[in-house]
Chains A and B, each alone.
Chain A
Amino acid sequence: MRELRFAKDLYEGTQVDAAVKVFERFGKLSTAEEADAWIVTVDAPSDARVRRLAGELANYALGLTIRGRQAEESTE
């Protein structure tokens, strides 16, 4: 099991949710919210799978956040 803390001022919450939706079929993902972060807990049958799932989820959430920011800037 691994816990990912996505800081609210670094990641878009909607994009973290979108990433969770994409990867939830590969393992057990649960979400929670704290004052400064969205928490995603990743669980899977093996440690290697947990590591990979957490990494791919983090990459996807970061990619979506960056793309979202670029789209916002281009419409301003």
Chain B
Amino acid sequence: MTESLDAIPDTFVSVDRAEGAVSFVVDESVYPLDAIYGATFTFLDRCFVFLGRGEPGQVVITLSAKKPPVEDDELRGWIGELANELLACAWRGRILEQNRATIEAVTMQAIGGAMGPPSLDELEDFDFSEEPFDDPLGIAMSWEEKYGKKEKKGESADDSGEENA
């Protein structure tokens, strides 16, 4: 016999106290199937979980106690945790979908780096004559060129004089 649970809207939730079970109707357009699987997976260790079809586009998640009877507070806790987990899984899935291209690019770079140094054939095909990059402003200077010891003005002239003597 299905009943309602205090403080939980009975539009989506029904309780079978004799069975120690609570059912939650989930709209698939709000929570994708992957989120439903992810959320219910976290309950497998403490409840019997069963998925069924209700109205078109709806999934009915039934959580039953492994050892009935159970208090209403526990049933209410399951519903709250399930709702939170559904939202978290749906949101994680959305973020993953948005960042899929970035994740794939980073993974490909990591795999490319892990493949090791290029082979001799690849090196043979490489064009070493090409300039590494354009530097029209001349800012690409080595450390020695920029901060190295500079020759004193008179030094080179004295040296040349000694040599002549």
Which A residues are within 8 Å of any B CB, using their own CB?
4-5, 7, 9-11, 36, 51-52, 54-56, 58-59, 62-63, 65-66, 69
Contact A66 B49 (CB under 8 A): no
User: 27 A-B Cβ contacts within 8 A?
Assistant: A4-B50, A10-B51, A10-B52, A10-B53, A10-B59, A36-B53, A51-B64, A52-B66, A54-B48, A55-B48, A55-B64, A58-B49, A58-B50, A59-B44, A59-B48, A59-B49, A62-B37, A62-B41, A62-B44, A62-B49, A62-B50, A62-B51, A63-B44, A66-B37, A66-B38, A69-B34, A69-B37
Count, A-B residue pairs, CB within 8 A: 42
Interface centre among B33, B41, B51, B66 (most CB of A within 10 A): B51
Return chain A residues, CB-CB under 8 Å to B44: 59, 62-63
Within B23-81, the residues touching A (CB, 8 Å) are 33-34, 37-38, 40-41, 44, 48-53, 59, 64, 66
Q: Are A55 and B66 in contact (CB under 8 A)?
A: yes
B residues at A contact (CB < 8 Å): 33-34, 37-38, 40-41, 44, 48-53, 59, 64, 66
Separation of A58 and B49 alpha carbons in the complex (Å) = 7
Chain B residues contacting A11 (CB-CB under 8 Å) are 51
B17 CB to closest chain A CB (Å) equals 15
Query: Is chain A's binding surface mostly helix, strand, loop or mixed?
Result: helix
Distance in angstroms from A27 CB to nearest chain B CB is 15
What residues on A are CB-neighbors of B64 within 8 Å? 51, 55
* CB closest chain-A residue, reference B38: A66
- Chain A residues lying within 8 Å of B53, measured Cβ to Cβ, are 7, 9-10, 36
CB-contact partner of B48 in A5, A56, A65, under 8 A: A56
How distant is the Cα of A4 from the Cα of B34 in the complex, in angstroms?
A: 22
Q: Are B40 and A62 in contact (CB under 8 A)?
A: yes
Determine the distance from Cα of A59 to Cα of B63 in the docked complex, in whole angstroms: 10
Q: How far is the CA of A67 from the CA of B103 in the complex (A)?
A: 22
- Inter-chain CA distance A37–B48, complex, in Å, is 19
Alpha-carbon gap, A51 to B66, bound state (A): 9
Pairwise interchain contact A66-B66, C-beta atoms closer than 8 A: no
CB distance from B37 to the nearest CB of A (A): 5
